[in-house]
Amino acid sequence: MSDEKATRRRGRGGSDARRARRDGAKIEQFPFITRRIPMTEVLSAEGLETIEANAETILEEIGIEFREDEDALALWRQAGADVKGERVHIPRGLARALIAKAPPVFTQHARNPERSVRIGGDATVFAPVYGPPFVRDLDQGRRYATIEDFRNFVKLAYMTPAMHHSGGTVCEPVDIPVNKRHLDMIEAHVRYSDKPFMGSVTHPARAADSVAMAKLVFGEDFVDNNCVLVNLINANSPMVWDATMLGALKVYAGAGQAAVISPFILAGAMSPVTIAGTLAQLLAEAMSGMAFAQLVRPGAPVVFGTFASSISMQSGAPTFGTPEPTLVLFAAAQLARRLGVPFRSGGSLCGSKTTDAQAAYESAQTLLPTLLAGVNFVLHAAGWLEGGLCSSYEKFVMDADQLGMMQVLSQGVDLSRECQALDAIREVGPGNHYLGCAHTQAHFKSAFYRSSIADNNSVEQWEAEGSQDATQRANALWKRTLAEYQAPALDPAIGEALDDFIARKKESMPDAFS
């Protein structure tokens, strides 16, 4: 036993000691959001019906391709679809009927039960950026991501009160062989956080490894009967599911684990250049994937996902924070509610290469619609930079601050008698101020959201302190956060079981880097 392990084991003196250690870390954590404000909607029922009718036409007449997967085609044939080659023509109404078997709301369990999240209904769960091969910070600039960066982002997510989820590929640890990095990634989520996390989807065998590792953490029985992994299954838009994604989806749906079925669309390239056309296509794609999951295992939890942005029609580059994707987001959320399934979209998206005003305008113009639309599962809620090519340390803590604000906004207006404050208004009266009154004294600590990044001081004080911009303050904040980080308690037996599993798996195959 290593000294480190011994220390951990010695430190484990029952639930009191665990609580003490957890208290020692003093992390503040908000529960997942249960919204108390209405949804913002942009389409009428009639408009939604038009989109739905068009999606059914796409499913039936044009069809969806399920590529290089005979199982999938056989399942569709059996369900009554008209399969021609790899093209599956799904009769009107069939996909919707299958999706009705999926739960409208489900719980994803975390290894710390206090961190478990509800996905669907009036709940919103924030998860970190997913997928970037690069990282950026103010000190070292842009570089390929490593497993150390990966662990750092897991730690930052753990330390962020309004981050409800540890996410998945918070960055690609390209220093680890491509066929083994999923093992280290899942280990990092378990060891450095106690929030719920995502499995690997880059190969069916890696999905199977993810489920196996989850069983080491949660126990086999528990995983067989509960959702402990949420997994991102991207369509190959337009209207294609490829073998890798179908393979991973079959593993997860078969194991009763959740799949986020996500058309990945840059409108104008992967979908029509119009909003209504994009909506019909992405609905058809999402429906085909969610229905297929139900063919694999009726009742498997699924999430209607969409990543939809537009492109610059001048350069072909993806653009973010512009009005058309916002309208797609609002309307797609309405379509998901009518289907009765949870919805994933949005986040803190931007095309900027640096954490400047562009990054912030675009991110805010994505994140606020995400909350107001009633998105249930929010990937990319913090850290996304450069169109998703970079995980940014400074952006992560800036976005985290915004997530805290969204959490407050979601709770609406407290109309209790105390908050109506008529007595305070009587007490103060015309021409006076409220700073010292009893009501203010009683509420000032919790009254207003306190930003971790914003500087609201006078220009004179700001200049005296070095005229720092938000990026510089964010740089200091993420470093301080990592310095203060303490790992949550983990049963050493679980840690050892994971280590053994990973060692065996790594030994079983040669490294692959592509």
Residues 85 to 124: which contact its own copies by CB under 8 A?
Answer: 87
For the chain, the C-alpha Rg in angstroms (whole number) is: 24
Stretch binding its own copies (CB under 8 A), from 193-201, 336-344, 361-369, 497-505: 361-369
> In this structure, what token pair is assigned to residue 282?
């992405």
- Closest approach of Cβ 166 to its own copies, in Å? 24
- Closest approach of Cβ 335 to its own copies, in Å? 12
Q: Residues 402, 477, 478, 502: which binds its own copies (CB under 8 A)?
A: 402
Q: Which of residues 28-47 bind its own copies (CB under 8 A)?
A: 37-38, 40-43, 47
For residue 452, give the DSSP letter: S
| 70 is a site residue for its own copies (CB under 8 A) | no
Q: Is the peptide bond before 325 cis (omega within 30 degrees of 0)?
A: no
Give SS3 for 266. Answer: strand
- Closest approach of Cβ 478 to its own copies, in Å? 14
| 381 is a site residue for its own copies (CB under 8 A) | no
| 236 is a site residue for its own copies (CB under 8 A) | yes
**HSE-up of residue 161 (Cα within 13 Å, Cβ side):** 16
- Closest approach of Cβ 232 to its own copies, in Å? 21
DSSP annotation string for 157-216: HHH-TT----BS-SS--TTS-TTTHHHHHHHHHHHH--S-EE---SSHHHHHHHHHHHHH
Q: Residues 200, 294, 326, 391: which binds its own copies (CB under 8 A)?
A: 326
Q: Residues 428, 482, 487, 494: which binds its own copies (CB under 8 A)?
A: 428
Give SS3 for 416. Answer: coil
Q: Residues 45, 57, 493, 509: which binds its own copies (CB under 8 A)?
A: 57
> In this structure, what token pair is assigned to residue 31?
């529960």
User: For 342, phi and psi rounded to 5 degrees?
Assistant: -65, 160
Residue at 413: amino acid letter: V
| 68 is a site residue for its own copies (CB under 8 A) | no
Q: Residues 27, 105, 205, 311: which binds its own copies (CB under 8 A)?
A: 311
Report how far apart, in Å, the C-alpha atoms of 356 and of each of 181, 248, 470, 472 are: 32, 37, 9, 11
| 356 is a site residue for its own copies (CB under 8 A) | yes
Stretch binding its own copies (CB under 8 A), from 3-11, 173-181, 414-422, 500-508: 414-422
- Closest approach of Cβ 296 to its own copies, in Å? 21
| 450 is a site residue for its own copies (CB under 8 A) | yes
Q: Which of residues 5-24 bind its own copies (CB under 8 A)?
A: none
Give SS3 for 454. Answer: coil
DSSP annotation string for 101-129: TS-SEEEEP-SSGGG-EEEETTEEEE---
> In this structure, what token pair is assigned to residue 234?
């991207």
- Asked if residue 364 lies in contact with residue 381, where contact means CB atoms within 8 angstroms, the answer is no
| 322 is a site residue for its own copies (CB under 8 A) | yes
| 493 is a site residue for its own copies (CB under 8 A) | no
Q: How many CB atoms within 10 Å of residue 418?
A: 13
Q: Residues 169, 234, 244, 355: which binds its own copies (CB under 8 A)?
A: 355
| 245 is a site residue for its own copies (CB under 8 A) | no
CA pair distance 64, 236, nearest whole angstrom? 11
| 323 is a site residue for its own copies (CB under 8 A) | yes
Residues 401-405: contacts with CB under 8 Å, at least 24 apart: 401/451, 401/452, 401/453, 401/454, 402/348, 402/363, 402/364, 402/367, 403/126, 403/160, 403/162, 403/163, 403/367, 404/30, 404/161, 404/162, 404/449, 404/451, 404/452, 405/449, 405/451
Stretch binding its own copies (CB under 8 A), from 147-155, 213-221, 222-230, 418-426: 418-426
Q: Which of residues 132-161 bind its own copies (CB under 8 A)?
A: 142
Stretch binding its own copies (CB under 8 A), from 20-28, 52-60, 157-165, 166-174: 52-60
The nearer residue to its own copies, 14 or 430, going by C-beta atoms, is 430
CA pair distance 345, 328, nearest whole angstrom? 10
Q: Residues 217, 223, 349, 359: which binds its own copies (CB under 8 A)?
A: 359
| 324 is a site residue for its own copies (CB under 8 A) | yes
- Asked if residue 55 lies in contact with residue 278, where contact means CB atoms within 8 angstroms, the answer is no
Q: Residues 31, 105, 264, 462: which binds its own copies (CB under 8 A)?
A: 462
| Helix 204-218 × helix 181-192 angle, to 10° | 30
Instruction: Determine whether 78 is exposed, middle or buried from the number of CB atoms within 10 Å of its CB (0-12, 13-18, 19+).
Output: exposed
Tokens 């989807």 sit on residue? 201
The nearer residue to its own copies, 91 or 277, going by C-beta atoms, is 277
> In this structure, what token pair is assigned to residue 253?
């749906």
Q: Residues 112, 146, 451, 486: which binds its own copies (CB under 8 A)?
A: 451
* Interface size with its own copies, residues (CB under 8 A): 125
The nearer residue to its own copies, 29 or 472, going by C-beta atoms, is 472
Q: Residues 193, 365, 370, 391: which binds its own copies (CB under 8 A)?
A: 365
The nearer residue to its own copies, 449 or 485, going by C-beta atoms, is 449
The nearer residue to its own copies, 208 or 267, going by C-beta atoms, is 267
| 420 is a site residue for its own copies (CB under 8 A) | yes
Stretch binding its own copies (CB under 8 A), from 13-21, 212-220, 244-252, 268-276: 268-276
